[in-house]
Structures are given as structure tokens and as C-alpha cells.
């Protein structure tokens, strides 16, 4: 292989690696944003939602003021995302704790969500795709729920536990 061919191969490999590194996360149908910390400085959280169909990504910046607590930041993120994303396509809701759940109403894994940058001190943000598990068809499908089997035998009550203590 001559040096010219080698240079072309190296350049092609470099461009391929560069494009895969900047491609962002794999598409999913639901994303969770988890926040921790109290804002040690004012600044912004810069999110990007990228549709998998090649349409234009949506950049959303959430401004946060110094001293804002986790719950306040979570509410601001939820409000900003919900107000700038199509309500007929995305559901944005506060989850458990200070989490925000962004879900495609069509249930398709066809977009990615990422935090591009933040300049806020003491606030940590994790953005992860979520696999939403379907609810069990019947309560008996869950091992921690009571059985609905009509032939199930109830345990006998403990007679000593039901009788009053003796003096």
C-alpha cells in the first residue's frame, strides 16, 4: 500500500470514528433525567432532543439561579421541556423524587435525549434511556401480590397469637 492510499484510509477511519463519537445516544422511547444537588451558581442546562427520522434536533436551555434546590430545578426542567416539545408527541412528567420522565406517546424508540452542557456548580444531571415494562395482566403475575387462585389454601391462624395473654 502506498502512502497516498494509506492516508486516504486513515482519513476515512478518522472521519468514521468522529461521526460515531458525535452521533449521541441510541434512540429510545422513554428517557429519565435525574437531578441531584443545590445550584452553587446560576447558569443553564442545555438539553438536545434528536429525532431518529433525521428531522431537526430541538435544543432546550433551562436557566437555573444560584441556590435553587433539586425539586425546583426538576420542576423547571419539566416545565421547559413540556412547553417546548410537541404535546401531541411527548409526555413530560415529574417522576419519583426529583426525576423527570420524557416519553414518546407513540411508544416508539425513535428519539434520543442528552445533556449537552451545564455550567451550574454542584448540580449533577444523569440522562438515561428507560425501558418501560408493561404492567402485569393480573395481580397474580406479580410474586409479591396475593394469589387470586380460588383453590389457594389460607394458612391457619396462630391460636396463641389470637388468645389474650395469661396472667
d(CA 62, CA 58): 13
Domain presence at residue 16: no
pLDDT higher than 90, residue 126: yes
Number of domains in the chain: 1
Domain housing 64: 28-132
Instruction: Kindly state the average pLDDT of the residues 129-153.
Output: 56
Q: Residue 103's domain is classified under what CATH number?
A: 2.60.40
Q: Which one, of 73, 74, 48, lies nearest residue 61 by Cα?
A: 48
Q: Is residue 91 part of a domain?
A: yes
User: Is 63 inside any structural domain?
Assistant: yes
More confident residue, 140 or 53: 53
List Cβ neighbours of 75 (8 Å cut-off, separation of 6 or more). Answer: 94
139 within domain boundaries = no
**Could you read off the pLDDT of 2-25 as tens digits, one per residue?**
545 444 444 444 444 434 345 678
CA angle at 100 for the pair 98 and 103, rounded to the nearest 5°: 160
Q: How confident is the model at residue 107 (pLDDT cuts 50, 70, 90)?
A: confident
Rounded-to-integer distance, Cα 53 and Cα 60, Å: 19
Does residue 159 fall inside a structural domain? no
**Could you read off the pLDDT of 79-98 as tens digits, one per residue?**
999 999 999 999 999 998 89
Set of cell numbers at residue 154: 389460607
> Residue 144's pLDDT is what?
45
DSSP 121: T
Amino acid at each position: 500500500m502506498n502512502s497516498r492510499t494509506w492516508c486516504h484510509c486513515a482519513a476515512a477511519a478518522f472521519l468514521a470514528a468522529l461521526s460515531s463519537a458525535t452521533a449521541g445516544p441510541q434512540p429510545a422511547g422513554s428517557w429519565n433525567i435525574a437531578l441531584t444537588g443545590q445550584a452553587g451558581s446560576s447558569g443553564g442546562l442545555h438539553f438536545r432532543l434528536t429525532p431518529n427520522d433525521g428531522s431537526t434536533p430541538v435544543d432546550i436551555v433551562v436557566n437555573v439561579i444560584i441556590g435553587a434546590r433539586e425539586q425546583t430545578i426538576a420542576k423547571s426542567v419539566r416545565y421547559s421541556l413540556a412547553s417546548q416539545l410537541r404535546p401531541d408527541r411527548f409526555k413530560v412528567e415529574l417522576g419519583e423524587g426529583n426525576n423527570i420522565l420524557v416519553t414518546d406517546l407513540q411508544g416508539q424508540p425513535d428519539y434520543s435525549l442528552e445533556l449537552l452542557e451545564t455550567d451550574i456548580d454542584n448540580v449533577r444531571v444523569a440522562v438515561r434511556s428507560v425501558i418501560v415494562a408493561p404492567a402485569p395482566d393480573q395481580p397474580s403475575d406479580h410474586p409479591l401480590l396475593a394469589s387470586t387462585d380460588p383453590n389457594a389454601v389460607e394458612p391457619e391462624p396462630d391460636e396463641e397469637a389470637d388468645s389474650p395473654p395469661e396472667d
